[in-house]
Amino acid sequence: MRQRLRLREPAVAVLFIIPAFIGLAVFFYYPIGQTMIFSLFDLDHTSDWLNAPFVGLGNYLDVMKSRQFWLSLRFTFLFSAVSVFLQFWIGLGMAMATFAVVPRLRGVLRAIIIIPWAIPQIVQAAMWKWLYNTDVGLIGDLLVRAGLVGRPPLFLADPRLAMGAVIFAYVWKTASVTSIFLMGGLAMVPDHLIDAAKVDGARTWMRFWRITVPLIMPTILVTLLFRTRDALRAFDIIYGLTGGGPGTQTDVLSSFAYKFYFGYVEYGLGSAYALITFVLILALSLFYLKRIQPHLQFRS
């Protein structure tokens, strides 16, 4: 009689995890390890760290001494806070709208909402660059025709407008991503609770605050975690729109790693910038997770 190979459950689980772990190791941990190594060497126009001078923490000290780094850190936090705030409320509004319309329009509305999400960021940057163009841009022209301004604003070159223009373009895309997350949470809200609240005379606002929000709180917290993390790492759309300008006003942390890696071909310094960004985001994420842990319970 043949003996069948019986695996215990933990062994089966490990077998399923191995492919994912290999992928993580190759595409995630290996680059991080390589970046850590590069950051300890003076790599100028070469990635041959075995033959490059060892500088230890010298690259990190250079980063800390850089005034541009601290200015970009300030803008990165400001950009993240404002964009996450805006994309959350706009995303929540769009998500709730999909439940408020008649069912046969729900699919159409959801398809329209996710269109911005489907456009690659760098394509989106080119698109918004034309929309913001002073000479031929649609937005400036509409504002002039509406009588709101006398001439098209310098959206990307005026220091007073550039930050807002970049945030607006970013939120246009990310609000749709946020709404997708929140749609999932809203779908779990039991209708009978809402109906019962209506019968009891609760107004819309009260139903929203006292029933919907508490029920979807875990979804909200996880959504905010992911959106904040992505905002801290934002690069494509900002670099595509302004190149970090005017001056260095819209320079973000990620752009330093890019500039030093590919512009100046200084892999050592670029790696240091990248790792500092990584550690910062990791620390913030861990702190955030610890604070929201008690709230991550779905109430039935």
Partner 1 sequence: MVKRVLLSLAILTMLLAGCGPAPTPEVVEQTVEVEVPVEQTVQVEVPVEQTVEVTKIVEQTAVPEEKVEVTLAYGRFINLSFGPGPAPYEAIRTAVAEKYPNIEVQLNITPDDMGSWHDSLAIWISAEDPTIDIYGMDTPWVKEFGSAEWAVPLNDSIPEFENYAESGLDVFSYEGNRLGVPVWGSIQGLFYRSDLLEEYGFEPPETFGDLVEAAEAITADNPDMSGYVWPGGKNESLVMIWAALLHGFGGQYFEDDGTCAFNSEEGIEAVQFMNDVIASGVSPREVTAWDQEAARTRFAEGDAVFLQHNVSIVTWLDNAERSGIPGQWGLIGVPAQPGGRHSGVTGGFAFSINPYTDNLDAALKVMNVIASEEVQKAFAIAWGPVQHYEGLYEDPEVLEANPDVDKIAPVLETALSRPPSEDYAQVSAIIQEEIHSAITGIKPVETALNDACSRVDALD
Question: Which residue lies nearer to partner 1 by CB, 264 or 298?
Answer: 264
**Min separation Cβ 29 and partner 1, Å:** 20
**Min separation Cβ 33 and partner 1, Å:** 18
**Min separation Cβ 41 and partner 1, Å:** 14
Question: Which residue lies nearer to partner 1 by CB, 185 or 244?
Answer: 244
**Min separation Cβ 87 and partner 1, Å:** 26
Question: Which residue lies nearer to partner 1 by CB, 52 or 292?
Answer: 52
Rounded to 5 degrees, what are φ and ψ at 297? -130, 125
Residue 278 to residue 240: CA distance in whole angstroms? 22
User: Which among 234, 216, 112, 108 is positioned nearest to 171, based on CA atoms?
Assistant: 234
Question: Which residue lies nearer to partner 1 by CB, 89 or 262?
Answer: 262
**Min separation Cβ 136 and partner 1, Å:** 10
Question: Which residue lies nearer to partner 1 by CB, 178 or 255?
Answer: 255
Interacting residues with partner 1 (CB under 8 A)? 44-47, 68, 134-135, 154, 156-159, 242-249, 259, 262-265, 267
